[in-house]
Amino acid sequence: MSHIPLLCVKRLLEEMETSAFNPPTDEEIDKAQQELGFAFPSEYITFLKSGYDLGDIPMEALEIANTPSHVNIYEAVENARKYFNLPTSLLPICEDNGDYYCLNQSGEVVFWSHNGATNEKWSGVSAWREEMLAEFNGE
């Protein structure tokens, strides 16, 4: 039977503590709004501060601060506009296999396919999240 030395456990716990997710600050949110040229609705700001909580949905929300490239909102915006002609009136908040769930200027979430606009729309981030969770859970 092997035993993990106490020192190793302590180091692992310290690493986990320092790499824990920190939600974006108000300053980071303000900066993102300025740099992206998009005013975030209050519901989206609440979502950001919740830690981008998508529950068990097997997708990752795009993040605005200290992000790896695969969830970086700035890179996603640049790529979606460059390669898929995403209009500036939409802000991607979640990428799904080259397609995007986006906020429009009314605070609704719309689905943007890499082939262009679709008719899929939700009244806001909460409604979109609830429907995605229900779909994932087979409800």
CATH of the domain at 78: 3.40.1580.10
Percentage of the residues of the chain whose pLDDT score is greater than 70 = 81
Report the number of distinct structural domains present in the chain: 1
Q: Which residues contact 17 (CB under 8 A, 6 or more apart)?
A: none
Whether 4 is in a domain gets the answer no
Whether 19 is in a domain gets the answer no
Whether 23 is in a domain gets the answer no
Q: Strand order of the sheet with strand 99-103?
A: 91-96, 99-103, 109-113, 116-122
Q: Please tell me whether the overall predicted TM-score, pTM, comes out greater than 0.85 for this model.
A: no
pLDDT at 21 over 50: yes
What is the pLDDT at residue 62? 85
Q: What is the mean pLDDT of residues 99-121?
A: 91
Whether 57 is in a domain gets the answer yes
The answer to whether the beta carbons of residues 108 and 92 sit under 8 Å apart is no
Distance of CA 59 to the CA centre of its chain: 9
pLDDT at 123 over 70: yes
Whether 95 is in a domain gets the answer yes
Whether 47 is in a domain gets the answer yes
Q: What is the mean pLDDT of residues 82-103?
A: 92
Whether 73 is in a domain gets the answer yes
